[in-house]
Structure 1
């Protein structure tokens, strides 16, 4: 192999290394409470930063029928343990270039690590809109074929706190502008249902397994 060809190959490798390094700096990894990156295949409890007051996420019914809604378990000191336990969540990057790392502002799918009595997927997606408040609920189940981006969420950092939002990235260059919304919760009949379009709620992540 000639020195010229070796030099060309070295330049290509170096360019790819620099491009990857710059890309990684642009999209830092989301960190769990132990300071480790969130990885695909592991399970996490998604909790408020003050997780000793409120606990993780779970599935609940809203109107007595499917689909199930994403909800926050309320756990208060001195009170009996909640009857609905928290369920860990698995995150999966949307695109292969993210590897197995969940990165800030990059899309992922979220799925509960458990089965639903509705006999359907436990993957998160944007669901119905409340006709009075205009806020959208986050439910689980298959994404309607008419809009495959309804199941893609991402995490942003504001003032050192992580917020989850629905604001899918455009991968084709020709995409309708999404109606982005930050995750928050609303109280309904003693339940805390996950919704979009309100103040941004802060989250932390506790690794459970893998």
Structure 2
């Protein structure tokens, strides 16, 4: 049953996308191109499975991407589900705190043999990946609800799955990272080129609603630029 995918694609297709066009179908960037490698603030390649803070690319701003419950009435879950920006001006007390992220790139059959020979899977620009919060306590029940997905309102929430490409709801779980051509750092985008029948372009991720939650930046004015700091 393809209903969840059609609803998601239909809802996003009616948004005024930041950038439109027809994405290539199942054609992925070349991971061997080192110019496409995502780098952390120390200049090292960002790798799958490691922990990173997505801090603001703006100088003088602290914090980064975090997770919370923005509305406990409409979201009765005991676990935080809304992916948000938590920021303060540098020097303010208490300083804003981010939650570490971990990236899981798509691995198809061709990539599987290559990845098996690598000591670390380097994250490449515009390559499909899943994003997950790293929970401090793995035994916490909320640790099982840590993977990003795009909901039908175009907002990013947790509750996604890692590595799933053959079920009805897989489309919502995949994001990409690209260079921020308007300034420092990188930006996230949502680009459903894994979907054979999707005829919509990709969309940048920025702040939506009250300016804190991350989601589709359909006005092209609020994209969130970040840098990645490796967590100790």
Q: Does 1:74 align with 2:82?
A: no
Shift of residue 92, structure 1, vs aligned partner = 0.9
Q: Does 1:140 align with 2:158?
A: yes
Higher strand share: 1
Match of 1:113 among 134, 156, 176: 134
Shift of residue 78, structure 1, vs aligned partner = 4.2
Three-state SS of the structure 2 residue aligned to 1:57 is: strand
d(CA) in 2 for partners of 1:181, 1:40: 23
d(CA) in 1 for partners of 2:102, 2:186: 17
Q: Does 1:46 align with 2:54?
A: yes
1:29-178 to 2 correspondences below 5 Å:
29-50=37-58, 52-64=60-72, 65=75, 66=77, 68-82=81-95, 85-96=97-108, 97=111, 99=115, 100-114=121-135, 120-129=144-153, 136-142=154-160, 145-159=167-181, 161-170=185-194, 174-178=196-200
2:230 equivalent in structure 1: 207
d(CA) in 1 for partners of 2:176, 2:35: 11
Shift of residue 95, structure 1, vs aligned partner = 1.5
**Is the Cα–Cα contact under 8 Å of residues 43 and 90 in structure 1 kept in the other structure?**
yes
The TM-score with structure 2 as length reference comes to 0.66
Shift of residue 186, structure 1, vs aligned partner = 3.1
- Cα root mean square deviation, aligned: 2.8
Instruction: Identify which of structures 1 and 2 has the higher relative contact order when contacts are C-alpha pairs closer than 8 Å and 6+ apart.
Output: 2
Three-state SS of the structure 1 residue aligned to 2:152 is: strand
**Is the Cα–Cα contact under 8 Å of residues 183 and 201 in structure 1 kept in the other structure?**
yes
d(CA) in 2 for partners of 1:169, 1:119: 29
Q: Which protein is bigger by CA-based radius of gyration?
A: 1
Mark the runs of 5 or more structure 1 residues left unpaired by the alignment.
1-21, 130-135
Residues 34 and 119 of structure 1: is their aligned pair in 2 closer, same or farther, counting only changes over 3 Å? closer
d(CA) in 2 for partners of 1:147, 1:27: 32
d(CA) in 1 for partners of 2:215, 2:60: 22
Shift of residue 49, structure 1, vs aligned partner = 1.4
Shift of residue 23, structure 1, vs aligned partner = 5.4
Mark the runs of 5 or more structure 2 residues left unpaired by the alignment.
1-29, 116-120
Aligned length in residues: 177
Three-state SS of the structure 2 residue aligned to 1:75 is: strand
Shift of residue 122, structure 1, vs aligned partner = 0.5
